[in-house]
Each structure stands twice: as C-alpha cells, then as structure tokens.
Structure 1
C-alpha cells in the first residue's frame, strides 16, 4: 500500500469513528456527532473544499463542482448517517474502525463501512485527488450527501427540491444500490455488476383490531390478538403474484448469455418461458423470490400493556416492498382480500410508490458501464430492480437516468452484515471503489 493509500484509509477511519446514528425518534439523535462529521470534512479534504461550492441544508450537504462548459450535470449521492449499533455482539467495536489482516485480505470493521460512508468517502477521495491534479469536469458535478437516509430521507428530498427550483435537470444521478457480486445467478461464474434502474416502493401497512378490554381470566371467544394473528396467517398464506417486468427479462437475458449448461437455453429464451421462470425465481432464494413480487414481512406487534389484561388494541406493522408495475392502492387491496375480515383495519403509513424505470441503454448507462468496466473488466453489467429504498428515489422527478450502484465487490456474507453486526469491507475493495468513481468523473 502506498503512502497515499495509507493516508486515504486513515481519513476513512476517522470518519467511520464518528457515530452518526439515525434514529426515528429525532429527539434521541446525537446531533453533535453529525456536526463533528461535517466540521471534519474541510480538514480532511482541503482541496475539494477550496474548489467546490458548498451548501448546507439542515445536516445534509450539497457541493457544486463547476464544469468547463454548460451542459446537464451529474449528481453523485451518498449518505453519512448509519443505523444504530452498540458494542454488544460485535467482533470489533462498531465505531472503532479496526483493521485486521493484510494485503488483499485486509478488512476494515465498522458500522457504515459499506452503508454508506464507504461510498461517500470514496467519492470524496476521488474528487480530492482529481482537484489536486488540476482536473476539471466538462460539465457541472454535484455531490449530494444526505443525513437521514436510514429514517425518512428528508435531506435528499430537500436537495432534490432545491435543484428542481433552480431548473437543474441532471443527465445522470448515481446513488447506492447494487454491487459487484458473484454466484448469485445459476450458471454464471463471471462477476456481475448489478445496477439498479428502479427500486421497489416501500410502505408500512398497519393492521389494527380494536375491542373491549377486560380481565384475562374471562376472555371472549375471539380476542383482538387472535383476530390479528388470523389476519397475519391469512396474509402469509396468500403471497402476491409473481411477475417478470421488462427489467427482470433484460437481466435474465443479459446474464443468460454468460451462463453455462442447460440453464443457458432457458435464460436466453426468457420471454417465451416466462411461466417457468416465475417458478424458478420463486424457488431459487429469498432474493430471487423478492425480485419478482411484492413482499410482506410482519416486523412489529403490539398488544396489551399487562400480562393479565385483554388488549383493547392489537396492532401489527407489515413492512411491504411494492414491485415495479404495482402500486400502493393495489397492494392494500390485495392485503384486504387476503385477510377477509372487515374488523381488521388496514392502512398505509409513509407510503412510497415504486420508482420510474431508468434506461438500461443510451449514453448515461454506457458512461456508468464503462466506468465499472475500467476497474472490473470481467464483470457483466446488468440492470435490476433494487429491493431496498434509497435517497435516489427523490431525484426521479428531475432526472430520467437515476442509477443505484455501490462500486464494491461484496460477498453474500458481507451483504448480510448490512444493518447487522460485524459490518466490514475489504480495504482493497474500497480502494477499487474510489477508482470507479474516478473513472466516472473523468468521463463527466
């Protein structure tokens, strides 16, 4: 590792040690930690802060790097808030930013190492280095860094609104999302760079049953909790129908061309074999099953406040990820039909529709694919529907080419540590991520 690489890594570790944890209860958020993060940036990246214009929107940040001539700008996005973590159960403290191993196997352990300070700091490193060498983009480049993506995304929403008010329509927006992965698609041995061209809608659906309370020694035949439990099991027994969208088909065709064995014949005939593929995707894994349908997961339950009292209100929250091509209204209607009980109130909370689909061809797609290919020449670049939600969805009103891609090679184990214990990233992987952003910026 060169001296420059070591210095970049230490800057990354410095920012990872600042516990910028998002909390749904805003009053519980440690805002001084967010202020420390923002104050640290000019100290760590002086050339960037001398060359770029800066604005602060609450705790979110917007930078403008003026280009050499007029033209539609590019926006690189990331967020610096992280989900909460304590030391309990972690191999290394979540905000210790500790290093283990060496060479290609050196790991950096920290909350936010991937989600999403990894991308944010990689962007900063790429811009800082390019400014120092005297590079200036052809067209404007904006850096949009949100502070509350893990909760409500108000920062990114505000920045998108500000750009809209100024009449700015970016040519390309890139936010976190897919990654460079291996062995996720049967028959394909090459690395796969999955680029989100859209993302599912996300809605918390609240199921509520209200009933007279009383002493638990004399319960009615059907309590509120029983009625709620019955509604949950009915919903679980009636999953949403599987569908293959145009993006799904494009992904299967793209990857199928690189498959080996008998599956190649199936995947390259995706359009004619859609019924078979819906069954295959439904059985391969949880990830493939989620790709082709709206999903529901009961994440919260609430009943009585006392062990010996009947609940007057029983409530469940169903985290619902709405497939592209569907809608919030269609989702609620399916849930009501599945439950078949008018005594269970069904309502959407914080509803968000699926995002429009960005093109998987054309100059902006080609520009991103070329940047990925410059660093990962063996990777097959393919569109996909992002299963989670990102700040990028707030920019679809001002840009037709919004992509979700995190430029890191991530194993299944590393992806599984997101929002969980032992989040970590290979240092070499992070450095290659900087190279992808650098290639993209040079093409701006």
Structure 2
C-alpha cells in the first residue's frame, strides 16, 4: 500500500511531505556512474536533470546555473552579501546494484515508514534535502544573507573530475567559500560500543584514497603440471602478508575530541578513558582496534583487497595474477609512506606494486572555537536535540576533498538519522531512508541557510 493512501479501516493518514515523492522520482532514475563513459546510461542522467527542473521549478528559475562536466550542476543563489559565500554539495550518481533487495532498487518503494532504493542515502537524499530547502525558502521570498552555491556532481562514485571542474569555475569567479558542507557523517545510532545516544558526526577531514595493484607474472601452462610459487601463489602469499601486517594505529585530534564528547554517554567504566584520550592515547587506541572493524578503521590506514584475477580457464595455469588493493590513508600518513609499507609487507621482488590512483588525506578543518563549525553544531542541536554533535575523521572519500583547494572549512555531514543497518546498506543492498528522517534533513538544511550571517 502506498504511504499516502487512506486507511479504509480508520481515519485517513496524513499525506507525506512533498520531499518524499520528489526523492522517489529521482531514485527511479538509474543514474549509475562508470569509469568507462561508454558504459554510462546517458539517457538516465538526462532524465534526472529534466526531473530536477520539474520538481524544483523556482530553484531553476531564480538561481543562476552553470553546467559542469557531462551532467554536473553549479547553482548560485545571490545573497544580500557575497563576502562569505557558502557551498552546499551532493552528487547525482549512484553505484551499481548488487545483492538481493527486499524491494527493487530503482522502484522507489515506500514500506515500513521508509523509502527504499539505491541513492536514498548516497546521495540523492542530500540532493533533495538541499533543493527542497531552497525551493521552500524561495516560496517564502527569503534571500540568504550570503551567496549560496549548490554543487551537484555526476561522477563522485567513480572519482570523476566534475567536482574539480566546479572548483575551477569558482576559482575563476574569485569565490572563496567561508565553508563547504558535503555528504559524509550522519546522525548515527549504534556507532560506538555501549553508547546509545545518537551521535551527529561531522567529518572535518577524510582519509586519502589510493588504489594499487599487486601483479605477479610467470610462464603459465597446463594445469596438469604446476610449478611451485607460480603467479597465483605469489599473489596469495602477498595478500596474507598484508593481512598480517596492519598499519600503525594512532588517534588524530578529531577522534580524541569525538571520544571526549561521547565520554558522558559511555558506560561508566569507559568514561575516564574516553574523557582523557589525549593523555592515554596508546591505551585508547588499542581498545578501539579491539572493538571491531568500524572503530579500528578510525585509528589507522586500512588496506582492503577488492579484486582478484588469474587464469581465464580452469585447466590453465595463470601467466599473470593480479590483486587490487584499496587503501584508505589516515590523517598523518602519506601515499609515499603507504607504498613503502606495502613493499616491506609483501617482501617479494617478483610481486610488482602498480599505483592505479593516489590521493593524500584531506587537511583538518577547524572545529574548536570556530564560528562555522559552531553554526553546524547549533543547527544540529535545533533539529536533532537528542544527538551529540562531534567532529570525526571520515573514512570514505567525497567530492568535497577537491574544495579544500579554495576553502579551509570543508565539512562532511548528511543530516539524516541512520541506524547501523542503514549505514551498512550504503553501497550494499536494501539502502533506504526513513520518511520522517528525510523531512528532518530538509528542516536541517533550511535552518542552516536561515542561520547563515
């Protein structure tokens, strides 16, 4: 049954917020990006831009639009002043669909108080949240105190160049943002052991992303006469050596502050440890590593083997074997240091390490006694009064990393409540957003825009 349909057994249910149907319309367009442009469904992206204009007519009529990349959009909403412009970001593309879904990924089904579909959380929910906030304020005749820029990329999921193009356009126009807000953190529940209070984590930096390929070569041949330490065996051994040689763990300043803010909400035995993390960092670091993969990733550079290839046939020995490794580089580490660590860990001159792409960690944006971060905190407190707002190190990559070239205050926060199951659904199956949570997200963006001075 559709969420908006009346209940014949009782009084009619209230109609859902109009943002719900708008997000439904966007989810139903499969804007899957691909590193190979020939594999991109251009028609889906074309349809999305048409749908955006249909759903948000005032935004398109009254804001200045610049097209960037193939389907990226850069809007300017002229404010009463342009001294401290603000950029709100999101992206239009999504990752491919995998796994078995409860509801089809591109049907936009409403069930159990949630809207199901690829992109609901990553990142069309933010697109709709931003656009609906602007549309609503335009209907009220509101003018922002400062210029407001909306940057919507179309190839974020494949590390594309559209965001860099947007930065170039802003640079040419002499725009130096006061702050930038992109996707990233969320109002997370169940994120930390023993903490039941929701945590509104705002990314003040993000790990660098570097991808390498381990490659081993040999003669190959018939599978009936295998030789020792062929290409596949060398790659297998290299993978196990990487597994047994993790990167050194540490606690960057945003993580120390996060734990300090969570201390009053943690189990009593953990409160002193978390509250004084800067003084007992080694003890706290070991505790986070032991607590599980999500908390362990907060403390160190990680390396995950993501792709494997070998022989094209079951009865043929591989002449070449490869393993792709995705590395997320912690603040304080470098690409050069990571490559040195990988070479030492693999310790095999016959295994080549080829760099496919590389990126350093982003600089840390200010978060203590900073007016921009304080504005985000105040907006979180108004819309999510039960949540603890805190900085953190974002472990994934966003388009906003490119904006650090022109702005020192780049923050990453999607203003939606997300359970652990919802966070796990991103880039996986059964991605969905609560209907009320989407509405709260619209309210958060609206409040933020109204509070900018």
Stretch of structure 1 that moved more, 44-53 or 124-133: 44-53
Aligned match of 1:80: 92
Residue of 338, 349, 358 corresponding to 1:342: 349
Aligned match of 2:383: 375
Residue of 61, 64, 87 corresponding to 1:50: 61
Q: TM-score, normalised by structure 2?
A: 0.94
**CA distance in structure 1 between the aligned counterparts of 2:211 and 2:28, rounded to whole angstroms:** 32
**CA distance in structure 2 between the aligned counterparts of 1:84 and 1:388, rounded to whole angstroms:** 17
**CA distance in structure 2 between the aligned counterparts of 1:297 and 1:177, rounded to whole angstroms:** 20
Residue of 346, 364, 376 corresponding to 1:357: 364
**Matched position secondary structure for 1:209:** strand
- The structural deviation recorded for 1:4 is 7.9
Residue of 166, 175, 181 corresponding to 1:168: 175
1:332–1:347 CA contact under 8 A, matched in 2: no
**CA distance in structure 1 between the aligned counterparts of 2:162 and 2:413, rounded to whole angstroms:** 20
**Matched position secondary structure for 1:334:** helix
**CA distance in structure 2 between the aligned counterparts of 1:274 and 1:352, rounded to whole angstroms:** 27
**Matched position secondary structure for 2:437:** helix
- The structural deviation recorded for 1:437 is 0.3
1:187–1:264 CA contact under 8 A, matched in 2: no
Report Cα offsets for 1:43-63 as digits up to 9, x if no partner.
211111121101111210000
2:87–2:149 CA contact under 8 A, matched in 1: yes
**Matched position secondary structure for 1:212:** coil
**Matched position secondary structure for 2:128:** helix
Aligned match of 1:19: 30
**CA distance in structure 1 between the aligned counterparts of 2:290 and 2:354, rounded to whole angstroms:** 30
RMSD (CA atoms): 1.5
**CA distance in structure 2 between the aligned counterparts of 1:416 and 1:132, rounded to whole angstroms:** 37
**CA distance in structure 2 between the aligned counterparts of 1:114 and 1:178, rounded to whole angstroms:** 11
Aligned match of 1:151: 158
**Matched position secondary structure for 2:157:** coil
1:197–1:404 CA contact under 8 A, matched in 2: yes
Aligned match of 2:441: 433
**CA distance in structure 2 between the aligned counterparts of 1:389 and 1:70, rounded to whole angstroms:** 29
**CA distance in structure 2 between the aligned counterparts of 1:90 and 1:221, rounded to whole angstroms:** 43
Unaligned stretches of 5+ in structure 2?
Answer: 5-12
Aligned match of 1:60: 72
Stretch of structure 1 that moved more, 144-153 or 304-313: 304-313
1:204–1:320 CA contact under 8 A, matched in 2: yes
Pairing 1:411–2:422 present? no
Pairing 1:292–2:291 present? no
Aligned match of 1:137: 144
Between the two proteins, the alignment pairs up a number of residues equal to 439
- The structural deviation recorded for 1:10 is 1.5
- The structural deviation recorded for 1:84 is 1.3
- The structural deviation recorded for 1:107 is 0.9
**CA distance in structure 2 between the aligned counterparts of 1:42 and 1:278, rounded to whole angstroms:** 49
Q: TM-score, normalised by structure 1?
A: 0.96
Aligned match of 2:47: 36
**Matched position secondary structure for 1:78:** strand
